[in-house]
Amino acid sequence: MILHLIRHPKPLVDAGICYGRLDISAENFDELAESLLNELPSGLPLWSSPLRRCRALAERLNASPVFDDRLVEMDFGAWEGRAWDDIPRAELDAWATDVAGYAPPGGESPLALQQRALDFVAGLDVPEAVIVTHAGVIRTLLAHWQGLPPARWTELVFDYGSCTRVEVPR
């Protein structure tokens, strides 16, 4: 199966703010959609995170996108919407010690994010599709398919509005 994994456009949020499931908008939807439509094969089914920064792009790319909660960004729990500098150092250190398994208070771990994203992909029964989602979702999926250990997950970086084409083994 071929997947075109698209990261949403740059969010409209102040620098230094932690956001994952925080439902914020983004910039340049029309411009990005036009560029992607020229790049993507036409007529592919499209799934998207329901968060606004993905939803608005998905609706410009496809007349009938399917929204799925398993494609939302990591839930940072009590950290959502807070300045990274205001998050207790002990919590950030705990995350750094167990980058894949640690869940912020009231949130989820990257491993939990990875599992729900893999569950989503496992349920797809199409030869090719477009998915509009978030860097965390894309990162954990590609880390799994590339067999990367959690310590190397942060090496996978995706620009806003980028499209990563991947062939997924069935």
Across the strands, what pairs with 129? 3
Taking residues 125-132, what's their average pLDDT? 98
Amino acid 169: pLDDT: 82
Task: Return mean pLDDT, the chain.
Answer: 96
Q: Which two tokens stand for residue 47?
A: 């799934």
Taking residues 101-113, what's their average pLDDT? 97
CA-closest candidate to residue 148, choices 117, 103, 111: 111
Q: What are phi and psi of 40, to 5 degrees?
A: -85, 150
Percent of the chain with pLDDT strictly greater than 90: 97
Q: What is the pLDDT of residues 8-31, one digit of tens each?
A: 999 999 999 999 999 999 999 999
Q: What is the pLDDT of residues 16-71, one digit of tens each?
A: 999 999 999 999 999 999 999 999 999 999 999 999 999 999 999 999 999 999 99
Residue 118 banded pLDDT, cuts 50, 70, 90: very high
CA-closest candidate to residue 57, choices 4, 115, 128, 111: 4
Alpha-carbon distances, residue 21 vs 16, 49, 64, 121, 170 (angstroms): 16, 10, 23, 20, 29
Domains in the chain, ordered, with CATH?
A: 2-167 (3.40.50.1240)
Alpha-carbon distances, residue 38 vs 9, 31, 32, 58 (angstroms): 17, 11, 10, 15
Taking residues 118-138, what's their average pLDDT? 98
Over 80: is that where the pLDDT of 170 sits? no
Across the strands, what pairs with 130? 4, 46
Amino acid 72: pLDDT: 98
